[in-house]
């Protein structure tokens, strides 16, 4: 199996570190080359572009160490990245991404379109709440880092965050039980705190680190930043205080006190972070402290934290489970600061607990374009084949076009003749349709009253005679030809009915003239209700002489013709009367409105 060679590159605030790894498959990661180069010492308060310096140092480092790999995983400092641990309700991945995007928009102090961000679920799977880590960095920063790496002759495959890369390395090399372990990564500009408790992880950074010591030394000794950095590296150590004897050299004693004061401030921030982790994240106090980073090897730093935190303290060894093919004595000098490098190497070789990727948009677009190149080539080949096939077809078909054109011309002429005949037929059909519609309207007008009166006659009780039907439209009396009538007593028609289909008298004046009916249709009068006037047979032997009237009202209400029936008058008969009068107002259902 061919060996895969790749580079892990950690660009820090004060140094650049790399590790060249080879792998023949998962679990076979091996370090074959490494390098470490300090960055020129500058005052961190000076706001200057470091990119040209990074390119220069990186090119020289890769050339001096004869690096062969061309593909790299790069880590960026935790201080440049917004890292948030949040709890979200358990749901599907698409909704989680939407919620994380919303949280990113709320927490990132820039428009979301100007940042590169990623996230990963790190805990709570299968539970009601998910633990999610969100990382985001400004696009121009990550584009600048990518440009530096590419100018050095490398292509970026993965961009990780330094604390996360260190966490992945520690998970690979150390066993973590349910008790809490704190990793203290003391760098140049920031100190990263990583809490590991079982499968739980939490990260935080504080702005107290190696440069803080250098700045304090510079102020106390009234010397430049670079000179103070050199003094710290040559003579610096953490003052033990208490019963320990101070150094004889006054400057050394003063330097140790300065460093101890800064370390005391760092310890106070660590203690506050531990309290935050316990109260806000539901964790427990750490039982073990692992030191990492370039500033962690200041003399007596481990003794200081062991005394202050009263727990086991040791420096990390990121190569416990990672084999190496380089001199051990050389690697041992920088092993304490190589945790991020090992974590980056693991990202390109095996599956890691946290795999976020902040690859800039330019790299993503370039990769997508490269993936599309085979499709573009296939499309071009397809276009060429289509053009060639079309030319061949045209060449072969040219001799047939004349005959086809002649046949097509004859067919077109015949179709035009048929089209003219069809248009004439359509015109004749339209004339017939108009005539037929007029006839249908006349027939419908002539029969609508007959149908209505027949349906009404079917529900009239035997004791009831209808004497008048007064058509109305919203309370206004109308005539059968659709014009309003001044006197409400002028009926349109009347009659009586009973069981056995007893005939009803015709409407006064007989059937309407067809010509008048057509005019009525055009007038569009609408009957929406009737005033029904009638007589009821008075049966002195009946317990209720008005029962037939009530039955008739009920029949009207239950019929499909009327929606509401109201009694306008109901004369109380005397024994000598053989009939008595009644009047109803019956409202037609909308679908039974009579239009004429």
Three-class SS of 110-176? CCHHHEEEEEEEEECCCCCEEEEEEEEEEHHHHHHHHHHHHHCCCEEEEEEEHHHHHHHHHHHHCCC
Domain boundaries, the chain: 175-316, 447-595
CA–CA distance, 354 with 164 (Å, rounded to integer): 7
Q: Which residue has the tokens 């078909």?
A: 397
**Which tokens sit at 448?**
């609508």
**Which tokens sit at 321?**
């489970």
Per DSSP bridges, beta strands 129-138 and 155-161 are unpaired
Looking at residue 45, its pLDDT comes to: 65
CA–CA distance, 549 with 532 (Å, rounded to integer): 12
CA–CA distance, 192 with 266 (Å, rounded to integer): 11
Q: What's the CA angle centered on 503, arms 497 and 507, to 5 degrees?
A: 90
Using 50 as the pLDDT threshold, list the residues of the chain that sit under it: 1, 480-522
Looking at residue 486, its pLDDT comes to: 31
What lies within 8 Å, CB to CB, of 316 at 6+ separation is 170, 173, 183, 290, 291, 292, 335, 336, 339
Which superfamily is assigned to 175-316 in CATH? ATPase, nucleotide binding domain (3.30.420.40)
Q: What's the CA angle centered on 350, arms 347 and 356, to 5 degrees?
A: 35
| pLDDT tens column, 112-152 | 888 999 999 887 776 778 889 999 999 999 999 999 999 99
What lies within 8 Å, CB to CB, of 497 at 6+ separation is 456, 457, 458, 460, 464, 465, 466, 504
Burial of 351 (0-12, 13-18, 19+ CB in 10 A): exposed
The alpha carbon torsion through 335, 340, 345, 347 (nearest 10 deg) reads: 150
Q: What is the pTM of this model?
A: 0.63
Q: What's the CA angle centered on 139, arms 135 and 140, to 5 degrees?
A: 135
DSSP code of residue 222: T
DSSP codes, 254-297: HHHHHHHHHHHHHHHHHHHHHHHHHHHS----EEEEEEESGGGG
**460 and 466 Cβ atoms separated by less than 8 Å:** yes
CA–CA distance, 381 with 396 (Å, rounded to integer): 22
């Amino acid at each position: 199996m061919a060996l895969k060679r790749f580079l892990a590159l950690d660009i820090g605030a004060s140094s650049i570190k790399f590790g060249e790894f080879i792998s023949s498959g998962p679990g076979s990661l091996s370090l074959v080359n490494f390098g470490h180069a300090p960055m020129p010492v500058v005052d961190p308060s000076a706001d200057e572009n470091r990119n040209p310096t990074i390119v220069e140092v990186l090119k020289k480092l890769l050339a001096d160490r004869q690096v062969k790999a061309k593909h790299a995983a790069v880590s960026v400092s935790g201080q440049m990245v917004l890292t948030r641990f949040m709890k979200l309700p358990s749901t599907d991945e698409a909704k989680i991404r939407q919620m994380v995007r919303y949280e990113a928009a709320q927490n990132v102090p820039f428009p979301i379109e100007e940042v590169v961000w990623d996230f990963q679920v790190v805990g709570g799977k299968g539970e009601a709440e998910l633990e999610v880590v969100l990382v985001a960095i400004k696009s121009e920063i990550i584009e600048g880092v990518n440009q530096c790496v590419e100018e050095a002759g490398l292509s970026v495959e993965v961009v990780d965050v330094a604390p996360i890369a260190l966490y992945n390395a520690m998970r690979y090399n150390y066993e973590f039980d349910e008790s809490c372990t704190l990793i203290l990564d003391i760098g140049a500009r920031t100190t990263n705190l990583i809490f590991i408790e079982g499968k739980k992880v939490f990260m935080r950074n504080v702005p107290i680190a190696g440069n803080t010591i250098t700045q304090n030394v510079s102020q106390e000794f009234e010397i430049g930043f670079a000179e103070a950095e050199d003094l710290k590296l040559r003579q610096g150590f953490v003052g033990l205080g208490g019963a320990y004897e101070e150094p004889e050299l006054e400057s050394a004693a003063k330097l140790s006190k300065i460093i101890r004061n800064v370390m005391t401030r760092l310890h106070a921030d660590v203690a506050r972070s531990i309290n935050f982790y316990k109260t806000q994240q539901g964790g427990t106090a750490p039982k073990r402290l692992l030191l990492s980073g370039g500033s962690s090897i200041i003399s007596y730093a481990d003794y200081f934290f062991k005394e202050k935190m009263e727990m086991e303290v040791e420096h990390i060894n990121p190569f416990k489970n990672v084999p190496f093919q380089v001199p051990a004595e050389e690697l041992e000098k920088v092993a304490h600061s190589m945790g991020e490098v090992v974590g980056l190497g693991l990202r390109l070789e095996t599956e890691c607990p946290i795999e976020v990727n902040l690859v800039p948009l330019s790299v993503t677009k370039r990769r997508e374009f490269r993936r599309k190149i085979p499709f573009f080539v296939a499309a071009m080949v397809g276009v060429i084949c289509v053009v060639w096939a079309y030319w061949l077809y045209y060449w072969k078909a040219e001799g047939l076009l004349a005959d086809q054109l002649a046949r097509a011309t004859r067919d077109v002429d015949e179709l035009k003749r048929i089209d003219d005949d069809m248009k004439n037929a359509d015109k004749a059909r339209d004339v017939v349709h108009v005539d037929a519609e007029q006839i249908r309207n006349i027939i419908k007008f002539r029969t609508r009253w007959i149908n209505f009166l027949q349906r009404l006659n079917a529900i009239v009780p035997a004791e009831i005679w209808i004497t008048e039907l007064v058509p109305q439209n919203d309370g206004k009396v109308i005539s059968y030809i659709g014009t309003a009538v001044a006197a409400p007593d002028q009926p349109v028609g009347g009659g009586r009915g009973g069981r056995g289909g007893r005939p009803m008298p015709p409407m006064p004046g007989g059937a309407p003239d067809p010509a008048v009916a057509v005019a009525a249709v055009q007038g569009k009068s609408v009957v929406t209700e009737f005033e029904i006037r009638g007589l009821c047979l008075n049966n002195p032997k009946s317990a209720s002489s008005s029962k037939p009237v009530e039955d008739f009202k009920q029949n009207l209400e239950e019929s499909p013709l009327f929606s509401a029936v109201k009694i306008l008058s109901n004369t109380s008969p005397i024994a000598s009367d053989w009939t008595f009068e009644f009047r109803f107002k019956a409202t037609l259902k909308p679908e039974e409105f009579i239009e004429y």
